[in-house]
Amino acid sequence: MNKPANYLASCLLLGGLALLRAPQAHAQNDVKEANKLNKQRNKLAAKNTDLSKDALNYDAEFLVVAASSNQLEIALGQLAQKKGIAAEVRNWGQQMEQTHGQAEQELQAIAGRTNLSLPASMSPADRKLYDDVDDRNYLGFDKKYMRTLKELHARTIKRYAEAATKLTSPELQAYAARRLPLLSHDEDTVSQLFDRANARK
């Protein structure tokens, strides 16, 4: 093989190995693996930016947690459409699937532009919440689903409010700022739906 061909082959091989090692956005990983890949990426990125590794890791961890939360809301919304007794609960489940599906698409776009990895599945804690709601019989589903959403929205609003002041990524700051008022509005609706579901016993 001549020298140009050797050089080309070496470049292709090194390029392929680099791609295999690089954290890829939208990689099919669980939460733990996504966080690991993002920390590896941030360790390198911190050397080429004024931002600290801790600041970059905070942004990446927020991204991963937000993605898991969106996946939970989508899955619960789909479950509500199947198991909900009241029409308003089934309709709300459909709205949550659409709303958080759009939010997840926004996160995927941000992850793609920043070369961060997203989890392909929700965290074990979020999965436990889903399983707890799914484990209820049909008669108790509406109340359990709406109570879980109340707790979930309170947790998410607190997290987003903190993140809005601590995130260093302008894109993630804008994402959190857009989502906060929507989450607060949803929280009010969820509270009303829960009260009605609770009254139905």
pLDDT cut 90: percent of the chain above it: 70
Q: Are 190 and 146 in contact (CB under 8 A)?
A: yes
152: closest CA among 57, 74, 98, 82? 74
Query: Lowest-pLDDT range, 11-15, 38-42, 141-145, 183-187?
Result: 11-15
130 found inside a domain: yes
33 found inside a domain: yes
At 126, which amino acid appears?
A: D
121 found inside a domain: yes
7 found inside a domain: no
164 found inside a domain: yes
Higher pLDDT, 135 or 188: 188
Q: Are 191 and 150 in contact (CB under 8 A)?
A: yes
Distance CA 180, CA 184 (A): 6
* Residue 119 bridge partners (DSSP): 29
Note the helical H segments in 31-169.
Answer: 31-45, 53-83, 87-114, 124-134, 141-166
132 found inside a domain: yes
5 found inside a domain: no
Query: Lowest-pLDDT range, 24-28, 51-55, 144-148, 183-187?
Result: 24-28
pLDDT tens string 49-99? 888 889 999 999 999 999 999 999 999 999 999 999 999 999 999 999 999
Query: Lowest-pLDDT range, 23-32, 103-112, 175-184?
Result: 23-32
CATH of the domain at 126: 1.20.1260.10
Q: Taking residues 1-5, what's their average pLDDT?
A: 43
What domain range is 39 assigned to?
Answer: 25-200
- Tell me the pLDDT of the chain averaged across its residues: 85
Q: Are 129 and 109 in contact (CB under 8 A)?
A: no
159: closest CA among 75, 64, 56, 32? 64
Query: Lowest-pLDDT range, 35-39, 133-137, 163-167?
Result: 133-137
60: closest CA among 42, 45, 33? 42
Helix (H, G, I), strand (E, B) or coil at 57: helix
At 70, which amino acid appears?
A: N
pLDDT tens string 17-39? 333 333 344 445 789 999 999 89
Domain count, the chain: 1
111: closest CA among 189, 30, 1, 34? 34
74 found inside a domain: yes
